[in-house]
């Protein structure tokens, strides 16, 4: 596929976190990985604080089950202009192994794993 130049007049991004990328320009390949443990407690004093460890949860040890590219698609592109022109982009948030890309991206491999649980009284 023929590459094109992207022209953006204004980009407003409010928040970027947790292994996320905001990229302006061309990228050949990107690999993002995010692992997180989120604990919601009913009361701040319900249990004594404890450090959590990724090894305690099997979700972080399992092999990822990525989709296989088994279907071949023939396609043809007809670009009428050498540039992609955008007036304004507004993004609230980019998070958890995701990417906000302004430009060409050849290959992406992204993985996010989050163990979320609640600790209730009693």
CB count, 10 Å around CB of 83? Answer: 10
Q: Whole-structure pTM over 0.85, yes or no?
A: no
Angle at alpha carbon of residue 118, lines to 113 and 119, rounded to 5° = 135
| Residue 56, Ramachandran bin (φ over 0: left; ψ between -120 and 50: alpha; else beta) | alpha
**Torsion on CA atoms 11, 17, 19, 20, rounded to nearest 10:** -20
Q: pLDDT tens track of the chain, all 122 residues?
A: 567 788 999 999 999 988 888 988 888 898 888 888 888 887 766 556 677 888 888 888 988 887 777 778 888 877 788 888 899 999 999 988 889 998 888 888 888 888 888 877 76
Name the token pair of 65.
Answer: 């089950």
Domain boundaries, the chain: 5-119
């Amino acid at each position: 596929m023929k590459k094109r130049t992207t022209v953006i007049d204004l980009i407003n991004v409010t928040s970027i976190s947790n292994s996320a990328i905001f990229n302006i320009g061309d990228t050949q390949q990107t690999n993002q990985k995010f692992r997180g443990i989120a604990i919601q407690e009913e009361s701040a004093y319900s249990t004594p604080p404890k450090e959590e460890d990724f090894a305690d949860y099997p979700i972080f040890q399992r092999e990822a089950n990525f989709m296989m590219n088994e279907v071949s698609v023939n396609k043809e592109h007809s670009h009428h202009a050498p540039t992609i022109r955008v007036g304004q982009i507004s993004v609230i948030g980019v998070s958890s192994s995701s990417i906000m890309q302004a430009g060409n991206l050849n290959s992406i491999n992204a993985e996010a794993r989050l163990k979320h649980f609640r600790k209730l009284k009693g």
